[in-house]
């Protein structure tokens, strides 16, 4: 008896029997252009106290954050949406989305985090704000991904496994729940992010407040109440995280990246970047590890 027939779906022989004889043996299915996850980091959280909480400042960066809740329910707040993530469910947080955690079911948990970068985010849009069930296939792929990540020679395999896991997550049934928006500042964070990340523009608090039709002081107070950090600090971090993504994933010169991210000069950009991460933009592009830590 094969592994396929021991409670894992139809046997391989039965599936192979469904294949037709090709009319054109030399003309098969063409592969679509693919983009693969890069710069993958896998880690585990086993205590709810280790998750990021609002009082620490909500996490925000240019990387994707894949959460697989293997045990314990926790509420995940993404931008202005609140989602209850149950055990055996997963969630993908997109770049530049604020997120933090609250109301854990118990102090102990078992969550797998996989953070990564990917140039083409469009293929993952179906997973935005959509918790999904961790099926046996997804669980198996996650195990193979972590095994490859821990292996010295698994560098080439890990991106393939993560890409397949994400594809299976898109095909998985959405978790049955309702997402809701909390009262106050509805949609404020995504709107501020969208305005602040306009390509080629230096958008400050005054311009954002004018676009939203509110005063600067009202914008600052609403933003701090919604996110737990000041608007000015958020805008600086947003531009720096955008710069990190461009340094990692684009071929733009550092001077171009500084301009795209709203810095007045390359000197201002380099000084601010080094103060935030402990390395220069060029060193970060070469792969030097920045001296900062983001809590999840």
In the structure, what pLDDT confidence band is assigned to residue 62 with cuts at 50, 70 and 90?
Answer: confident
pLDDT at 54: 57
Give me the domains of the chain, ranges plus CATH numbers. Answer: 38-171 (2.60.120.280), 188-286 (1.10.10.60)
pLDDT at 5: 43
Q: What is the pLDDT of residue 100?
A: 80
Mean pLDDT calculated for residue range 130-151: 94
DSSP state of 41: E
pLDDT in tens, 198-233: 654 557 888 888 888 888 898 898 888 877 778 888
- Residue of higher predicted confidence among 75 and 105: 75
Mean pLDDT of 94-106: 80
* pLDDT confidence of residue 197: 66
Q: What is the mean pLDDT of the chain?
A: 81
Model confidence over 71-89: pLDDT tens digits? 888 888 887 678 888 999 9
Average pLDDT score over residue span 59-76: 86
More confident residue, 225 or 164: 164
Q: Is the pLDDT of residue 32 over 80?
A: no
Residue 121 CA to residue 95 CA, distance in Å, equals 9
Burial 56-76 (b: 16+ CB within 10 A, else e): ebbbbbbbbbbbbbbebebeb
Classify burial at 18, counting beta carbons within 10 Å of its beta carbon; exposed 0-12, middle 13-18, buried 19 or more: exposed
Query: Residue 162 has what pLDDT?
Result: 96
Q: What percent of the chain has pLDDT over 90?
A: 28
pLDDT, position 177: 59
> What percent of the chain clears pLDDT 70, i.e. is strictly above it?
83
pLDDT at residue 50, as a whole number: 84
pLDDT for 161: 96
What gap in Å lies between CA 133 and CA 131, rounded to an integer?
A: 7
| Phi, psi of 65, deg, nearest 5 | -125, 110
| Residue 4: per-residue pLDDT | 43
* pLDDT for res 201: 59
Identify which of 50-54, 76-80, 148-152 has the greatest average pLDDT: 148-152
> What are the backbone angles phi and psi of residue 68, rounded to the nearest 5°?
-120, 105
pLDDT score of 109 more than 90? no
Q: What is the mean pLDDT of residues 136-164?
A: 92
Work out the average pLDDT over 172-187.
57
The pLDDT of residue 1 is above 50 = no
| 292, pLDDT greater than 60 | no
Residue of 89, 136, 81 lying closest to 112 (CA atoms)? 89
What pLDDT is stored for residue 198 in this prediction?
63
Distance CA 92, CA 168 (A): 13
Is the pLDDT at 179 greater than 50, yes or no?
Answer: no
């Amino acid at each position: 008896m094969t592994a396929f027939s021991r409670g894992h779906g139809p046997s391989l022989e039965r599936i192979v029997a469904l294949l037709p004889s090709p009319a054109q043996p030399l003309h098969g299915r063409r592969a679509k252009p693919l983009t693969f996850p890069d710069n993958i980091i896998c880690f585990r959280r086993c205590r709810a106290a280790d998750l990021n909480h609002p009082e620490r400042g909500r996490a925000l960066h240019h990387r994707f954050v894949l959460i697989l809740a293997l045990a314990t329910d926790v509420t995940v707040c993404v931008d202005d949406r609140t989602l209850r993530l149950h055990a055996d469910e997963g969630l993908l947080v997109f770049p530049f989305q604020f997120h933090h955690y609250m109301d854990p079911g118990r102090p102990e948990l078992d969550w797998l985090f996989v953070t990564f970068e990917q140039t083409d985010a469009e293929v993952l849009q179906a997973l935005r704000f959509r918790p999904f069930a961790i099926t046996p296939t997804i669980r198996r792929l996650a195990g193979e991904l972590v095994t490859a990540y821990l292996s010295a020679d698994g560098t080439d395999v890990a991106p393939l496994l993560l890409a397949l896991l994400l594809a299976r997550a898109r095909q998985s049934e959405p978790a049955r729940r309702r997402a809701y928006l909390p009262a106050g500042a509805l949609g404020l964070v995504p709107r501020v992010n969208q305005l602040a990340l306009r390509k080629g523009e230096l958008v400050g608090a005054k311009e954002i407040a004018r676009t939203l039709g509110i005063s600067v002081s009202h914008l600052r107070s609403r933003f701090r109440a919604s996110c737990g950090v000041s608007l000015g600090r958020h805008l600086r971090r947003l531009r720096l995280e955008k710069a990190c993504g461009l340094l990692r994933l684009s071929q733009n010169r550092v001077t171009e990246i500084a301009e795209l991210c709203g810095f007045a000069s390359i000197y201002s950009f380099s000084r601010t970047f080094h103060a935030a991460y402990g390395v220069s933009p060029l060193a970060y592009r070469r792969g030097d590890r920045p001296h900062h830590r983001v809590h999840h």
